A and B are shown apart, each in its own frame.
Chain A
Amino acid sequence: MKKGFKDFLLEINTEELPAGCVMPALESLYNAFIGQFTALGIDFDPDVSAGLRMATKNTLVCYIKDVSPTQRTALKEVLGPPKRIAFDEKGNPTKQAVGFAKNQGVDVSELKFKQTPKGEYLVFEKQEASRATKDILREIIPVMIKGISFAKTMRWDDSGLRFARPIESVLALFGNESISVSVGNVAQKKITVTPERYLKTLKRSCLIDASERKIKIRKMILDAAKKNGADPKADEKLLEEVTFMVNLPEAFTGSFNKEFLDLPEEVLRASMAKHQRVFPVMKRGMLINKFVAIIDGKGRDENKVKRNYENILEAKLKDSLFFYEEDTKKVFSGNAPQLKDLIFQKDLGNMFEKNQRLKELSGFICDSLGISGSLKSDAQRAGELSKSDLLTHMVGEFPSLQGIMGREYALKSGEKKEVSEAIGEHYLPQGIDDALPKSIAGAILAISDKIDNVAGFVGMSSGKLSGSFDPFGIRRNALGLIRIIKDRSFRIELGPLIKKAIGLYGGKLKIGPSELKKTIIDYIKDRIGFLMGNVRPLELKEAVLGAGGCDISDIFKRLDAVLSMKDSEYFLRAAKVVERTGNILKGAGKEKIGEVNKDLLRDDPERAVWDAYLKSKDEIKDLIDKEEYSDATRKYAETFYEALHEFFDKVLVNTEDRPLRMNRLAMMKAVNSLYAERVADLARLPQIVVKG
């Protein structure tokens, strides 16, 4: 540690915070300090790993090592009069120079000259006052605490202070000195100890380190599973939550009556997670009648606690069984009258209509893919039933089981297995890492649902899509449908599908169909670009997305092809052809370019280009149609590179003779679009250099 540098620690003790907000709160606090320190010129150790670990349900510890005791001193330049005014011919300071020096409280000899765009000026390099970090901390800590962002905040006393839950006390240590912090009516802890020592004390009383705690809990669950001969798996989402519910984890394994295993697996999981935050146990992929509970604190009477957990779980499962039996008394149907009362979105009609739209869209997708017969009718039937489970008791109790219960109840009502599976999978994928539908009918229905959501949500809003604010999950829906189509290599042009989806809303949408379609396609292309990941050069994404329509599988195919040949000579030559023709066309601005008139081709080099075009265009188009992009590129380069070189050398495209100019532009367009509109608009690449 540098001399005088000290560790800084801020501990906020609260009543139990919501599990999901603990780490984001700590991150927000830590980043705010780092940001302030940087802005104020206070040096610190930027190693995040130490500072961003210590957090429990009721403690946030922001720990920053090696913080300088004072601000870095900066020299601030104060500009004085220009040199020519500040000194006379003899080089003596004028009144102006003396006055300026006086104002700065120094002698003229302490001033310097500085070259500026306006000439040479007199300047004073002023040493800014440096403040003690301790004093700055006292000022900024309350601001930092109040600035932590939470989804929801509350008041608890007359101070009006807001936080996710009441703050009990605050401790701020800089070195071994505690800094008094005045925030609301919150109590201050005052002790004389270094942050390092204090952390040691904390670690003795609980597992303050969140990642250590998580690892320990995971191990407890896996050990318990091992003891029962079960699969070593832990529900990671639940694990994350439980990590912020217990400070000193202890585990036990409980069991429940086997009769409850008749309930769908997801119901058991949901009940365990929601009502008790206990972990299900699987053997060879099947749930068994056991669970692992993680409880907080040492010295519990494990037998009694376990018996209570078991009794309560059975009571809750009994309730699930009640829902299940009530729900299965009714036939699962796509046109239950109550569906018309169930609103999809305020301006987008009801769930009966949604079922009908998904039936239509699934049929449309099948037709586009050339799917007919039972697969098509299954996908359509699944669409018709897709939202019906929203009426059931079980989904009312466990909203996360939407789709899943549809699958179960459809099966119980005698629907085909394929139909039920498709219903069960149509909300997939829920997130960026989530699994995709396993069945084809499920994939088709999932695409239908997502394109219907995107069309509706974009169409009912202002049509403006913002990156961060996405209350309807438009981004999730768009990414989901791209992933499914790509994964399945479905060949489907999105334009007509989006048009169909918009049309099915029958005038409910606020934006006109063609404008809306364009907005959605642009948005989806943007998301495709995001999914393309780290492509170098970045412009390749644009080049590929800028060519052709919106056939997702083809876009990725073209991207792969372009990436695999991007360093080859023929690719660079093809790129040069597209670039040069593209540049000429750009220069033509908005002039309307027509067809090539053979009779207007005067010079040999231009006739050579046109002959090459006529000779090879069909072959190139054919290769592109067959998606043999590498061969197509090679052929394109061979056909045009030399000929164009000659052409540009000898022929002036932008001649004064308008008919001639327009004819040459038409030829440039034909050559350019042959590749740029079908494979990749390589004119967008940065500086293309062809060797040799």
Chain B
Amino acid sequence: MKKLSFVEVVARLNEFWARQGCIIMQPLDTEVGAGTFHPATFFKSLGHEPWRAAYVQPSRRPTDGRYADNPLRMQFYYQYQVLVKPTPSNIKKLYLESLKYLGIDTKTHEVRFVEDDWESPTLGASGLGWEVWLDSLEITQFTYFQQIGGKELDKISCEITYGLERICMFIQNRFNVFDLEWQDGLKYGDIYRQQEIEYSKYNFDEANIDMYLKMFESFEQEAANLINKGLLYPAYSFVLRASHAFNVLDARGAVSQGERPRYIGRIRSLSKRCAELYLAPKPDKEEA
């Protein structure tokens, strides 16, 4: 099998999971740290309604910037997110099949499921599952959600989060993310190297701390107002913005260890309220 480019890997995963009944969604347009923040996961894992979706989510983790100097770590990267609810009993098998569908030979290479208790404190979310290691490279986070928005879940969803760059590294046998083939000879680094360097400088050295502190307060306030007005989706988008502002402040060294839990707690309480609002009965809908 030809070694897949980054774009082809995404296409194949879309094909594979569409065949499993997943709705192929598009990324969220707000800065987030992971695919879990997308409403297609955060909201849809709540309640009893069955749901299957898959999508790419660009993810930003400001503290992970390495000035394009590290072969594995970046402050901006792509996740491929699958959410399946309720969890079918063959979900692990399906996942392994998806690897084969990408041309990964799981017989000659070693796939290992390593204990990982996943947690997203800002989303009030937690689950149990594994990091999946392929020849010791962590390529996937595999989680059975137990709690989202501080709520014990009615139905257990399974979240599969592929690290797209890492899977491509493996498939293309190139151990520097910037050498990966994006498409037709175009390299990942051709597109993202400069961005990575500049954002690393920005996040660590240049981000305007005062501005972000004010932004955090404003976003938090706006989210709270909108929750009170029952405007769920706009409210949630401001929770996400507050969360990203916090991440930038954190990378910039502007959040002390003592303040950290307080910031996280403030975001979590908004996330919880969004989850409650999502689950609340909607009288408007019934009238319509």
What is the interface of chain A, defined by CB distance below 8 A to chain B? 15-20, 152, 154-158, 164-166, 168, 185, 245, 275-278, 293, 295-297, 299-301, 304-305, 308-309, 311-316, 318-319, 322, 338, 340-343, 350, 391
Contacts and interface: CB of A to CB of B under 8 A. Distances in A.
Interface stretch (B51-59, B84-92, B191-199, B234-242): B84-92
Interface in B96-155: 105, 107-110, 112-115, 117, 127-128, 130, 133-137, 144, 146, 155
B115 A315 contact: no
Given A16-B115, A300-B110, A165 B135 contact: no
Given A296-B112, A308-B170, 10 more contacts: A15-B92, A16-B114, A19-B115, A164-B128, A276-B136, A299-B108, A300-B109, A301-B109, A318-B70, A322-B66
Contact of A300 (B108, B117, B130, B137): B108
B3 interface: no
Nearest to A166: B144
Contact of A308 (B69, B113, B136): B136
Nearest to A343: B258
A15 B175 contact: no
Given A15-B113, A300-B110, A318-B71, A156 B87 contact: yes
B172 to A, nearest CB: 12
Given A308-B135, A315-B70, A165 B128 contact: yes
B70 A322 contact: yes
B163 to A, nearest CB: 13
A-B pairs, top 10 by smallest CB distance, nearest first, are A341-B256, A308-B135, A18-B115, A341-B258, A301-B108, A311-B175, A16-B113, A154-B128, A276-B136, A315-B72
Interface centre among B113, B133, B134, B257 (most CB of A within 10 A): B257
Nearest to A295: B110
A115 B171 CA distance: 85
A443 to B, nearest CB: 29
Contacts of B72: 312, 315-316, 319
Nearest to B158: A156
Contacts of A15: 92, 113
Contacts of B258: 340-343, 350
A157 B89 CA distance: 8
23 contacts: A17-B115, A154-B144, A156-B156, A157-B86, A157-B87, A165-B128, A185-B89, A245-B112, A276-B136, A277-B136, A278-B136, A293-B136, A295-B110, A300-B109, A305-B108, A305-B110, A308-B109, A308-B170, A312-B175, A314-B71, A319-B66, A342-B256, A350-B258
A307 B72 CA distance: 16
A300 B133 CA distance: 15
Contacts of B128: 152, 154, 164-165
Interface centre among B115, B117, B155, B175 (most CB of A within 10 A): B115
Contacts of A301: 105, 108-109
Interface centre among B89, B128, B146 (most CB of A within 10 A): B128
A157 B66 CA distance: 41
A322 B204 CA distance: 14
Contacts, number: 108
Contacts of A342: 256-258
Contacts of B107: 299-300
A606 to B, nearest CB: 69
Interface of B: 66, 69-73, 86-87, 89, 92, 105, 107-110, 112-115, 117, 127-128, 130, 133-137, 144, 146, 155-156, 170, 175, 256-259
B247 to A, nearest CB: 15
Contacts of A295: 110
B71 A341 contact: no
A309 B134 CA distance: 9
A243 to B, nearest CB: 14
Contacts of B133: 276
A319 B87 contact: no
Contacts of B92: 15
Given A15-B92, A152-B117, A157 B136 contact: no
Contacts of B259: 341
A346 to B, nearest CB: 10
Contacts of B73: 319
B144 A275 contact: no
Contacts of B146: 154-155
Contact of B257 (A314, A318, A338): A338
A189 B150 CA distance: 37
A338 B255 CA distance: 10
A16 B72 CA distance: 26
A298 to B, nearest CB: 10
Contacts of B71: 314-315, 318
Given A166-B144, A319-B66, A338-B257, A297 B110 contact: yes
A301 B69 CA distance: 30
Contact of A312 (B66, B70, B135): B135
Nearest to A306: B135
B136 A315 contact: no
Nearest to A302: B108
B257 A304 contact: no
Contact of A156 (B144, B175, B256): B144
Interface centre among B73, B87, B135, B175 (most CB of A within 10 A): B135
Nearest to B136: A276
Contacts of B137: 308, 312
Given A16-B130, A318-B71, A319-B70, A312 B109 contact: no
A15 B129 CA distance: 9
B117 A338 contact: no
Given A300-B109, A341-B259, A305 B135 contact: yes
A155 B170 CA distance: 33
A17 B170 CA distance: 26
Contacts of A166: 89, 144
A165 B129 CA distance: 7
Contacts of A304: 108-109, 135
A166 B143 CA distance: 12
A322 B134 CA distance: 24
A16 B137 CA distance: 18
B252 to A, nearest CB: 14
Nearest to A296: B110
Interface centre among A19, A156, A275, A276 (most CB of B within 10 A): A156
Nearest to B73: A319
